Amino acid sequence: MPVSISELKIFLDSPGGARFVKTNLHLHTPATPWDWDAVEGQTRKARSVSVADYFEALSKTSLDLVAITDHNCVSWCGRLIELAAAARKAGTSRIHILPGVEITTYEGPHVVGIFDESADLGKIELMLSRLGMSGKGEKEDKVGRFLSAKSPHTIQEVFEEIDSLGGIVVGPHVDNSDGLWGFKGFRSRNEVLNNRLIRILAAPSGSIKKVSEAGGSVRLLYKNMDTSVITNSFGFVNVSDCHRLDDFEEKVTWIKMTKPSLEGVQQVIYEPELRVCHEITEIHDKEGRLEFREGFFFTDPSRTAYSHPHIIGISVNGAMLDGLKVALSPNQNSIIGRNYAGKSALLDCIRFALNAVPSDPDKLAKFTDRMKAFIGDGGDVTLYLSIREKFYAVTRVFTWTKLGKSAKPAFQITGTPEVYLLWNGSEFKRDSGRDVREVFPIEVYPQGEVTKIKENADQQMNIVDSLGGIDLAKRDVELLELNGAKTVKGELKDNRESIVGKLKRRDELKEAASGIDQLQKEIEELEQLSTSPAVVEKKLWAEEELKIDGCKKELLRLEPRWKPGNLVPQIEFAEDKPVEVVVGENAMKGTEFKPESASPSDYSMRASEIFETTVKKLKESTLYGSTAITKGIEGLSGLENLRKARSDELDEKIKKAVKPGDARAVGDGLIDHITERRKTLAGLLDQKREFEQAEKEIAGLFKQRKALLQRFGDRWSEIKKKRQMVVEMISRGSASTIKAELIINVERTGYRGKLTEIVDRLTSVAVRISHKEDQLTLVTDGLSPKELADLVRGRVSKGVTDKCVGVTPNTETVLFCMNDADILQLEECLLDDRFVISYQREGDTEYTPVDSGLSGGEQALALISVAMVPKGLPLIIDQPEDELGPGLITHELVEQIRKVKSERQLIFVTHVPNIPVLADSEQVLYMEQKIRESQKKSEKGCCGSLEDVDIVEHLLELDGGNIAFEKRSQRYSRVTKTK
């Protein structure tokens, strides 16, 4: 199978989209020795540290990206960038270095400019010269040092100089005396901090506040900034200002980006919360008093990120998607592209591999057709998964079969996913017997499914049941077999069928056994008529026939217990033995049996001896029991033939010895008649014994049924408890506009359906229920399945009509026509729960259920909101925007995505750019269709995050293209400029 450690390594080394990289954007070097040596606790003087020494120490860290920001110079930047590039090429380091400069402004505060790796350092030096500095990092350097005092460059002009070279502006150590906020004599700080070019500040962890404002906007500010004066919103990085080789990894910032780059850092401007790894908690002052409830603290992503189960990558072989390999982000993935590009095909491949295929036959048929086109017969899909710090691989080959020969046959995808676990990081081993849905459950909503869920209460309950292992538990109470073994529901069905069969046979035996007394009396009267010696002897030979036949029946009764594969049974004899088994000195053991001269009693003893010998062999041998029984029956059959011959000889003697009309001839016929009646009596006695045995077996089956019903009910109770826990989790995780609740034991659709099915069989044109649907609704609303079953079984007069107001006596009469099978099936009906989702519309104080009074968009939003609650498993939605207006997408849906995606993997197919853009999708995958060798192929065009220019171009296409965007911008500008 196509499971490969090397392929997993490729996905891990090139993860899907943006991820957190470890950065330090404010490093100093010995290029300015006066600054380097002056740092308290310095362990290496500037003169002892070469560029190579500095890089060697830097490359030993776990940093991904750094910025060299010496005071007023870039003299070490070029050489360090070259060393980093060479080390990456050689595979000895992964670090990227950005050139930068910390500028001492004319007004006093410091400003940091950071530039791209490929920036022209000569141009940066010219900029420093234009600003009136030496560019060599001299101690006295500051803006305007070598310019006329009458025309110094302001801080805002410094911002523009940095921006003109493609750099970004950072306000370093904003809280210090030389920072933009902490510099006490800097009178223009409010005006400067509101400049559009200063959007990133460096401040200590815990000194940053999150401010929520009217209209739902959120800003980050330094903790004692006046929100009414400072109107800008900032992205923050940790305040490093590193001057020692030992401190490279102190006060770092984890920034999310596709690859280490200036463009990645720049995204902090647009997404100050999502792009920097942090925690939000309370800020207290030095005395412990609460200052802000929402404080921004820098943190390491290993504590918070990627801990949830997620798909690492997908590999497809075959047909339209042949050769497709896609790495996925643990967070938000947005799949975009033109129509028929293969976007939904990728989702279907994930569903196929994880066995999350449709259960509805019609939908399964369509899904199968799609998979034929996507990967073709024999094609395969492999997923690499991360689950609780373990790596799994799941692979599945596409094969299918057609069921039936109708015009619309059902399709069934054959084969099962194979699950592999990575052992010791060196090999994948088959995790046999594991159901992939148990190993890696997912929540899936194909295109259009969300809008259908709102119309179907069962589908809404599926949102709950897809979580917490509930789906797996439900299979034990919904399916008859699971993985080749009987479920509790299957055991109940077998038990029901056994009871119904036994009850039917018991009634038949009971009726037959009712004639025993009368037959015994008749035989007694007949026997009184047989008095002659010949008749008496004839009677004795007839009795021997019954005894031999009794022995044969007993051996035949034992025979099934010795079939191959059965356990060795305990030998039990019927209470009424077929013969008096003679043992010891009275047995004929060792005595030669002469059939021509033996008396009838000798025949009895011979039958007893054959029976005893057979039983002894059964006890001595467990392997040859069946053979012994066969030989015993053959022996008894031979004895019966000899007995019959003796009896026939007697008949001939009687016929020769008597004259016509002799009474003894009548006696001869009488004995035959008695013999037949005695045979009939023996059969009835056997049926009586079978009846008594059936009674015992029925009692045992009902006892077994009671235990099965208890197990069945316990499983449902477990499911209901899990559902309650999931609904509580949904309630906690949902937006304030969403309310979720579980109403226990109110869903009676299945119960009503089963009762309707039973009644339809019982009624006819002559016997029917008026207003049947209404009547049965009254019954199912008024009585539980067990209560109704007990009333019908006991034929409790007026029991149904008294308990269910409005039910007619005629309806009760029809219900009392149920047979045993109907009553037992009713007992197996259980009342289900109902999951109710409600939405609070803007301006409303009450919550409205999704199935009453909401618009289609509000219904869809409520359902998606519930689906997106953090649940610890991936969520896949094909076009979540369906039925949602732009306002619901940008103000509701996007906000939920932003909150949830750090806690679960999201995979969307979308045609709305606001979903990946406003939610800052970590991975945007552009799919495109191309013609390869006269065949259509769906391929990965490009992928990455929003710092990738190709991705942005494709998102712009979704937004109508550049012309449409510019026209909207121009038309909206009159409004936006006044805001």
Residue 174 pLDDT > 70: yes
- pLDDT band with cut points at 50, 70 and 90 for residue 574: very low
In this prediction, residue 388 carries a pLDDT of: 85
User: What integer pLDDT is reported at residue 23 of this predicted model?
Assistant: 97
Q: Which of 257-271, 610-624, 777-791, 847-861 has the lowest mean pLDDT?
A: 610-624
Examine the domain organization and report whether 881 and 806 are in the same domain.
Answer: no
Q: How far apart are CA 251 and CA 238, in angstroms?
A: 6
For range 576-600, the mean pLDDT: 56
For the residues 512-518, what does the mean pLDDT come to? 77
pLDDT of residue 217: 81
In what order do the strands lie in the sheet containing 418-423?
Answer: 325-327, 310-317, 380-387, 390-397, 418-423, 427-430
Give the pair of three-digit tokens for residue 645. 């011959």
Q: What is the DSSP string of 628-669?
A: HHHHHHHHHHHHHHHHHHHHHHHHHHHHHHS-TT-HHHHHHH
The dihedral over CA atoms of 13, 17, 19, 24, expressed in degrees to the nearest 10, equals 90
The residue behind tokens 């269709």 is 929
The answer to whether residue 510 scores a pLDDT higher than 90 is no
Average pLDDT of 38-61? 95
274 and 127 co-located in one domain: yes
What local confidence, expressed as pLDDT, does residue 95 receive?
A: 97
Domains in the chain: how many in total?
4
Angle at Cα 101 formed by Cα 98 and Cα 106, nearest 5°?
160
Dist CA 632 CA 599 (whole Å)? 21
Element (H, E) at 465: helix 457-465
Q: Distance between CA 227 and CA 220 in Å, rounded?
A: 10
* pLDDT tens-digit series, residues 408-428: 667 788 888 999 999 888 889
Same structural domain, 398 and 327: yes
Which has the higher per-residue pLDDT, 564 or 618? 618
Q: In which element (H, E) is residue 385 found?
A: strand 380-387
Q: Does the pLDDT at position 563 exceed 80?
A: no
Angle of helix 533-558 relative to helix 600-620, nearest 10 degrees? Answer: 10
- Which band of pLDDT confidence, cut at 50, 70 and 90, is reported for residue 499? very high
Say yes or no: 109 and 257 in one domain.
yes
Q: Is 114 within a domain?
A: yes
Q: What percent of the chain clears pLDDT 70, i.e. is strictly above it? A: 90
In sequence order, the 6+-apart residues with CB closer than 8 A to the CB of 821 are 496, 500
For residues 819 and 847, state if they share a domain.
no
pLDDT, residue 591, reads 59
What integer pLDDT is reported at residue 587 of this predicted model? Answer: 38
Which is more confidently placed, 823 or 578? 823
Q: Would you say residue 976 lies in a domain?
A: no
Nearest to 315 by CA among 363, 265, 382: 382
Instruction: Specify the higher pLDDT residue, 13 or 876.
Output: 876
pLDDT interval class at 589 (50, 70, 90) = very low
Give the pLDDT confidence score for residue 7 in this predicted structure: 92
Q: DSSP characters for 519-571?
A: HHHHHHHHHHT--SHHHHHHHHHHHHHHHHHHHHHHHHHHGGGGSTTPPPPPP
What is the average pLDDT across 714-731? 89
664 confidence band (pLDDT: 50, 70, 90): very low
747 and 639 in one domain?
A: no
Quick one: what percent of the chain has pLDDT higher than 90? 48
Compute the chain's Rg from CA coordinates: 45
User: Are residue 841 and residue 826 in the same domain, yes or no?
Assistant: no
Taking the C-alpha atoms of residue 284 and residue 599, their distance in angstroms, rounded to an integer, is 115
Residue 526 confidence (pLDDT) above 70: no
Helix (H) or strand (E) segment spanning residue 113: strand 110-114
Averaged pLDDT, 351-374: 89
Question: Is the pLDDT reported for residue 579 higher than 70?
Answer: no
Report, as an integer, the average pLDDT of 3-32. Answer: 92
| Helix or strand holding residue 159 (H, E) | helix 155-164
Give the end of a domain, one of 706, 734, 750: 706
Residue 634 has pLDDT above 90, yes or no: no
Write down the pLDDT at residue 578.
46
Q: State yes or no: pLDDT of 203 exceeds 70.
A: yes
CB-neighbour burial class of residue 871 (10 A; exposed 0-12, middle 13-18, buried 19+): buried
Residue 957 lies inside a defined structural domain of this protein: no
The CA distance from 97 to 510, in Å, is 96
Cβ-in-10-Å burial (0-12, 13-18, 19+) of 595 comes to middle
In a domain, 272, yes or no: yes
State residue 562's pLDDT score: 60
In-domain check, residue 917: yes
Strand partners, 394: 383, 419
**Mean pLDDT to the nearest integer, 393-415:** 82
Report which listed range, 468-477, 612-621, 797-806, is most confident.
797-806
Residue type, 924: V
Predicted pLDDT at 171:
96
Q: Do residues 191 and 299 share a domain?
A: yes
CATH number for 102: 3.20.20.140
Q: State the pLDDT confidence band at 541, using cuts at 50, 70 and 90.
A: confident
Kindly give the pairing relationship between strand 923-932 and strand 332-337.
parallel
- The pLDDT of 156-173, averaged and rounded, is 96
Per-residue confidence (pLDDT) for residue 302, from 0 to 100: 79
pLDDT at position 129: 94
809, burial (CB in 10 Å: exposed 0-12, middle 13-18, buried 19+): exposed
713 within some domain: no
The pLDDT of 854-877, averaged and rounded, is 85
Does residue 566 form part of some domain? Answer: no
Domain boundary among the residues 809, 835, 861 is at: 835
Residues 75 and 207 in one domain: yes
- Residue range 884-924, pLDDT digits in tens: 888 888 888 898 899 899 889 999 999 999 999 999 999 99
Amino acid in position 346: L
Tell me phi and psi for residue 635, to 5 degrees: -60, -40
Task: Identify the band that residue 561 occupies on the pLDDT scale cut at 50, 70 and 90.
Answer: low
pLDDT of 141 over the 90 cut = yes
Average pLDDT across the chain, whole number: 86
Nearest in space to 309 (alpha carbons), one of 459, 467, 447, 449: 467
More confident residue, 627 or 674: 627
Sorting pLDDT into bands at 50, 70 and 90, what band is 532?
low
Res 782: pLDDT: 93
Between 339 and 148, residue with greater pLDDT: 339
Between helices 457-465 and 663-733, what is the axis angle to 10°? 80
Q: Is 390 helix (H, G, I), strand (E, B) or coil?
A: strand
Q: Are 153 and 188 within one domain?
A: yes
Residue 850 and residue 824 share a domain = no
In a domain, 770, yes or no: yes
Domain of 629 in residue numbering reads as 494-555+597-706
Question: Under 8 Å CB-to-CB from 721, ≥6 apart: which residues?
Answer: none
Q: Which residue has the higher pLDDT, 209 or 653?
A: 209
| Across 220-234, 397-411, 694-708, least confident range | 397-411
Given 243, 275, 303, the domain boundary residue is 303
Q: Phi, psi at residue 798, to the nearest 5°?
A: 65, 10
Q: Select the highest-mean-pLDDT range: 97-101, 433-437, 567-571.
A: 97-101
- Among 667, 682, 684, which residue's Cα sits nearest to residue 527? 667
Rounded mean pLDDT, 98-125: 96
| Whether residue 346 is found in the same domain as residue 433 | yes
